């Protein structure tokens, strides 16, 4: 256990590599109840979401979710989040644990249209079951039929269909690169649900998994972590998140600064890389070019359990010589340059 975002969180149960491989081969169960949830309701809900985030909420329909960012006026990222639409007047925003209070205050301060905002984080638990066997396990636990939930979609489930539990939301987004479901439930139901899933999934190889495996899994898949790869000093364009930054939609907070940056060209870019020499890249290690000149910094790094080698993400000067797949760089590991090759994530192969 360790403190994280104001919570005591499990880092590992049986071991990071064991849990990581369980998710890749069978299934892993994560308690991610530390994540924050904000409900947005009322006639101005859609207008508020459009004003707040970089992605285009007008493309959402009931049951659809999208990945997005909230930005400062200068384009720096306040947080990354998932937006769920349940109706034109009801949305749920899922935010990072360490940012719940500051995010909610930011939303309240950037709500000129007066949408109703409610921070329900302390009432809602969240379990994520991930891996090839995950959906089948949930299907067997349910008392009713599991609705068809496509990628980045969600469904509200009646108590009669889900162990008599109220307020169940099932979603399919994921942070591991594997298929699976997220189950939002009331706090009082979380322990019973956790136990039911573990018992049902035992024969499939389901294992409880902690923050350690969550980090190695998301990094193998190339997903950003707020506080490491993105923060208030980075913009979505620098982080390779242009695909969630719709500069042609109606103005949102930070839009003008991001339009200016796009026109001028980003000065640095987030890349993925694989180590070609035996070494593990870590957050804060310098990235060098072939002349030994420092041209960037590692933001996330680990030993990939699937590849058996080091992988990482980091920012480098925005030059094709450093950002193009196949470009050869070096990471300074304990004062020794170690060869690395730029590769577009995901790093693992199914």
- What SS3 state is found at 133? coil
Is the pLDDT assigned to residue 107 strictly greater than 70? Answer: yes
- Pairing relationship of beta strands 27-31 and 206-209 according to DSSP bridges: parallel
Summary mean pLDDT of the chain? 97
CA distance 259 to 184: 36
What are the helix and strand counts (H, E) for the chain? 8, 19
Chain segment 137-188, per-residue pLDDT in tens: 999 999 999 999 999 999 999 999 999 999 999 999 999 999 999 999 999 9
Count of CB atoms situated within 10 Å of the CB of 153: 18
Q: What is the pLDDT of residue 5?
A: 76
Chain segment 74-97, per-residue pLDDT in tens: 999 999 999 999 999 999 999 999
Chain segment 202-230, per-residue pLDDT in tens: 999 999 999 999 999 999 999 999 999 99
Q: What is the largest CA-CA distance in the chain?
A: 65
Is the pLDDT assigned to residue 293 strictly greater than 70? Answer: yes
Which residues are within 8 A (CB) of 206 and not within 5 positions of it... i.e. 6 or more apart?
A: 22, 26, 27, 28, 29, 129, 131, 133, 134, 137, 197, 198, 200
CA distance 224 to 102: 20
CA distance 305 to 347: 11
Q: What is the pLDDT of residue 4?
A: 83
Q: Where in the chain is the domain with CATH 3.30.1360.120?
A: 2-35+123-220
CA distance 208 to 53: 33
The whole-model pTM stands at 0.97
Chain segment 10-29, per-residue pLDDT in tens: 999 999 999 999 999 999 99
Which residues are within 8 A (CB) of 127 and not within 5 positions of it... i.e. 6 or more apart?
A: 29, 30, 31, 32, 33, 182, 183, 185, 190, 193, 194, 197
Is the pLDDT assigned to residue 250 strictly greater than 70? Answer: yes
Q: What is the pLDDT of residue 98?
A: 87
CA distance 186 to 169: 10
One-letter-per-residue 3-state SS of 204-218: HCEEEECHHHHHHHH
- What SS3 state is found at 194? helix
CA distance 142 to 121: 24
Q: What is the pLDDT of residue 148?
A: 96
Strand partners, 94: 37, 82
CA distance 119 to 157: 21
The CATH H-level superfamily of 267-342 is: Aminomethyltransferase beta-barrel domains (2.40.30.110)
Share of the chain above pLDDT 70, in %: 100
Class of the CATH-defined domain 2-35+123-220: alpha beta
Q: What is the pLDDT of residue 343?
A: 98
Share of the chain above pLDDT 90, in %: 97
Q: Where in the chain is the domain with CATH 2.40.30.110?
A: 267-342
Tokens read off for 258: 């991001």
Is the pLDDT assigned to residue 35 strictly greater than 70? Answer: yes
The pLDDT-based confidence of 349 (bands split at 50, 70, 90) is confident
Is the pLDDT assigned to residue 350 strictly greater than 70? Answer: no
- Pairing relationship of beta strands 90-95 and 336-342 according to DSSP bridges: unpaired
The pLDDT-based confidence of 337 (bands split at 50, 70, 90) is very high
Q: Shortest CA distance to 141 belongs to which of 14, 23, 19, 27?
A: 27
């Amino acid at each position: 256990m360790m403190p994280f975002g104001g919570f005591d969180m499990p880092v590992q149960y049986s071991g990071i590599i064991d849990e990581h491989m369980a998710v890749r081969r069978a299934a892993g169960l994560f308690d991610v109840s530390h994540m924050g949830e904000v409900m947005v309701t009322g006639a101005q809900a859609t207008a508020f979401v459009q004003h707040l985030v970089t992605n285009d909420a007008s493309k959402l329909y009931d049951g659809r979710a999208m990945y997005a960012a909230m930005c400062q006026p200068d384009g720096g990222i306040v947080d990354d989040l998932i937006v769920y639409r349940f109706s034109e007047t009801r949305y749920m925003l899922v935010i990072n644990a360490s940012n719940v209070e500051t995010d909610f205050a930011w939303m309240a301060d950037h709500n000129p249209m007066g949408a109703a905002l409610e921070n329900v984080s302390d009432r809602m638990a969240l379990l994520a079951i991930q891996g090839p066997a995950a959906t089948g396990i949930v299907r067997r636990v349910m008392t009713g039929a599991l609705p068809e939930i496509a990628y980045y979609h969600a469904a509200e489930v009646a108590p009669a269909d889900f162990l008599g539990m109220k307020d169940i939301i099932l979603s399919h987004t994921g942070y591991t690169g594997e298929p699976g479901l997220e189950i939002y439930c009331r706090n009082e139901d979380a322990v019973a649900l956790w136990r039911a899933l573990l018992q049902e999934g035992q024969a499939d190889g389901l294992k409880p998994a902690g923050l350690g495996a969550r980090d190695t899994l998301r990094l193998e898949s190339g997903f950003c972590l707020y506080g490491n790869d993105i923060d208030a000093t980075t913009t979505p364009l620098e982080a390779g998140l242009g695909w969630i930054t719709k500069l042609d939609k109606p103005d949102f907070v930070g839009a003008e600064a991001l339009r200016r940056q796009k026109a001028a060209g980003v000065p640095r870019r987030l890349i993925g890389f694989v180590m070609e020499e035996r070494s593990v890249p870590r957050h804060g290690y310098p990235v060098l070019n072939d002349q030994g000149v420092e041209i960037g910094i590692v933001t996330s790094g680990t030993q990939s359990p699937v590849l058996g080698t080091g992988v990482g993400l980091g920012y480098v000067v925005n030059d094709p010589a450093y950002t193009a797949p196949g470009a050869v760089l070096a990471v300074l590991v304990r004062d020794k340059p170690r060869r690395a090759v730029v590769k577009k994530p995901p790093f693992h192969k199914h």
